[in-house]
Structure 1
């Protein structure tokens, strides 16, 4: 998520006192009661607040086809406003029944008792076997939402994703490049070759998340995977002020200085960066498979995809990935029907929707008839899953980390911030939240 984190404070405290069917004990995480797979046969209406589409609208339609008595009214908010609006609406007297969840920016909803700990439904439905364990890991946290990978389960994935590099086959071919790079050093050579043809290599929108996705990919390539996980998950004593993270930040600054990113990158939004890439203005675009369907439609067979290359050939594949995830309000009047929607995410019907929307299905064993760039995304995703190399995004590390990442990379690109200052800013945010 991209907007500034707002603490709920007394508003959240007031809501806790009237938390409906929640068993909160006055504060802390809320737990549902009377959980059941038996759904109402009467007409039921649920509201679902979300920002990402695709795939949410299509998932709603597919679920309603299977449960015609349940109507889900979607409430979409632009990405730039979603975090602020959803945290306020979840603390209101009439919150949405289901909300798309970001475990970094929205973690205050957990100790505030505004969303359910889904552990009872996890046991009822067998979600520990029905969802990939890595996709659930980052959606678990302790009661204070300080550390991931432990404690309650506060959301389930609605579609999976992975960060990688889309590329324009014609532009890279014009630079004499015949195959995706095997190492980071080879990728740097390719960037120089593309620049030599007069094309700016990267489409980059550092006004929003695109900038820090570049640093993120570099850090995944150069850094220690477990060290990074510990930092994002909030493990005591973890730090991002490492030699590899500094090297990744320096690469961002160096590549900007070499003209590998647009001069106006800090004024370019993510959607504009996408448009610039699909219109053939740049050769590479670092983003996730959530844009695969759009890119495939715009570019056809001219689009390709590869994982950001590792520092050394043969190293295990590592890439940040996450999911479109859904939580249930602790004030919903229909928790079992809301939970049925969450369980639907692992169904064959949902897998078809998820894949056609450009995402990886929650059911990783689903038979996908992929072609074109979506087939390349599928192949690359399988590689990183096989290496157990999916790691969380860095903005999950603290509530306001996304702001530090965004402004920090803008500083690196404009040479207004040094790598040391950038990392110190990130660690300051981490320490303020975890210590």
Structure 2
């Protein structure tokens, strides 16, 4: 979700569940940080001797807690020589504590960290976390995880370039922005689920005429960031994926002020003018918006896969989830905003990096993906092969698996700079309200992106 931190914090509760005790970290003395794992990579975890591995996570909510508890139990049974000392905190608490711990004498061995520039990027720059390329090759992560997924945990060694370079983290779960569809409303209007972008827009025109008291597309943009999940898929219809990645990751040399981005911004304006999108969207909250959709208001909801569990509880079989349909000229290639959950990383000061890598491999392997699915989470790879707990979530699994296979994920646009979340959120509110033209909207984004990327991209 975007804004990234707001999205992740919303998924996490507050708690402290430990296999031994809630502790600030291991008590071993910390070696000097190095840029690579020390010595030869060892993948036989059973042969590592007696090891205590300190693990910090934010898997405290519902299915998150269920999956990690189950996997931890299974890991300990398989490797009784490795004792897990688990420290579990809310996302906000973990985020604050990790920053202090990594530079201290008692960091965790393996931990979850937000993959944005202000967290993982800073840790890479400070050489506080290990590059995982040697382990990725040894365990085959570089083959199981496509580049469209690995890019979200990849940086240049100096931490300046995001989205390419060396792998520093491994996620368990994925997410993508798509379209929730009320199939009953389409049927009543004599429509079928759109397969192309042209059909999608044409269906909104038909729905607007046949259901004149509501906008076809539901959006609650009071919090500013939800509109980024409408603009992102629209942008992907007009702008080449490589260009979106360059802008979204804040890499040097790109430009928001192009004819393609102008078309995307103009589409938002056109949708408001045609009544596809309510001009009152800026006054409606995100939760009230999707909740009204769940109760039958509107036909389409453009939002992320993280809403599926809540929608599945109330919409039964009336609602499905599809990826944003591609333009007919794209030949079926689907591209949309998406990413991963919080990745797992290894402290550069860990005395047990091989055990930490074995743990990461265990909680991200094929068996782990099945456990994730069984506990209601969205596996980041091998998704389409999993059995979901309900029909809507199965649609989500199928959709995410498809877009990963096509390498069709492009980054959340607020990744670009530390301030882009606020910048693009406010600018989209102004665009929807008619306070900014498409050109003025893009000028605002270019100023933020250009200033930062030239210095840091």
**Structure 2 CA distance, aligned partners of 1:119 and 1:242?**
36
The answer to whether the 8 A contact 1:51-1:100 is kept is no
Equivalent residue, structure 2, for 1:194: 207
Secondary structure (helix, strand or coil) at the match of 2:218 reads coil
The answer to whether the 8 A contact 1:64-1:72 is kept is no
Question: How many pairs are equivalent?
Answer: 415
Identify which of 251, 254, 275 aligns with 1:238.
254
**Structure 2 CA distance, aligned partners of 1:290 and 1:114?**
31
**Structure 2 CA distance, aligned partners of 1:329 and 1:111?**
13
* Correspondence 1:204 to 2:219: yes
Equivalent residue, structure 1, for 2:23: none
Identify which of 273, 276, 288 aligns with 2:289.
273
The answer for unaligned runs of 5 or more in structure 1 is 6-18, 25-29
Q: Structure 1 pair 234/208, CA: closer, same or farther in 2 (3 Å)?
A: closer
Alpha-carbon RMSD across the aligned residues, in angstroms, is 3.3
Q: Structure 1 pair 308/117, CA: closer, same or farther in 2 (3 Å)?
A: same
Q: TM-score, normalised by structure 1?
A: 0.82
Q: Structure 1 pair 4/354, CA: closer, same or farther in 2 (3 Å)?
A: closer
The answer to whether the 8 A contact 2:59-2:68 is kept is no
**Structure 1 CA distance, aligned partners of 2:375 and 2:231?**
26
Cα displacement (A) at 1:214: 0.4
Secondary structure (helix, strand or coil) at the match of 1:215 reads helix
**Structure 2 CA distance, aligned partners of 1:252 and 1:89?**
44
Q: TM-score, normalised by structure 2?
A: 0.79
Q: Structure 1 pair 273/146, CA: closer, same or farther in 2 (3 Å)?
A: farther
* Correspondence 1:103 to 2:116: yes
Identify which of 410, 418, 425 aligns with 1:406.
425
Q: Structure 1 pair 135/4, CA: closer, same or farther in 2 (3 Å)?
A: closer
The answer to whether the 8 A contact 1:64-1:71 is kept is no
1:211-246 Cα distance to aligned partner (Å, 9 max, x none): 111000101112222322333345542222221211
Q: Structure 1 pair 412/83, CA: closer, same or farther in 2 (3 Å)?
A: farther
**Structure 2 CA distance, aligned partners of 1:212 and 1:424?**
16
Q: Structure 1 pair 175/426, CA: closer, same or farther in 2 (3 Å)?
A: same
* Correspondence 1:430 to 2:434: no
**Structure 2 CA distance, aligned partners of 1:268 and 1:336?**
49
Q: Structure 1 pair 124/420, CA: closer, same or farther in 2 (3 Å)?
A: same
* Correspondence 1:23 to 2:12: no
**Structure 2 CA distance, aligned partners of 1:217 and 1:422?**
17
**Structure 1 CA distance, aligned partners of 2:288 and 2:104?**
34
The answer to whether the 8 A contact 2:146-2:404 is kept is no
1:217-256 alignment runs, 5 A limit: 217-256=233-272
1:87-166 alignment runs, 5 A limit: 87=99, 97-106=110-119, 107-166=121-180
**Structure 2 CA distance, aligned partners of 1:84 and 1:425?**
31
1:361-416 Cα distance to aligned partner (Å, 9 max, x none): 34427732355223333333344344432222222223322222212211212222
**Structure 1 CA distance, aligned partners of 2:401 and 2:4?**
32
Identify which of 156, 161, 172 aligns with 2:186.
172
Identify which of 177, 198, 221 aligns with 1:185.
198
Cα displacement (A) at 1:110: 1.8
Secondary structure (helix, strand or coil) at the match of 2:88 reads strand
Identify which of 299, 313, 316 aligns with 2:333.
316
Identify which of 56, 62, 72 aligns with 2:70.
62
Q: Structure 1 pair 188/129, CA: closer, same or farther in 2 (3 Å)?
A: closer
The answer for unaligned runs of 5 or more in structure 2 is 7-28, 77-82
**Structure 1 CA distance, aligned partners of 2:239 and 2:265?**
12
The answer to whether the 8 A contact 2:95-2:114 is kept is no
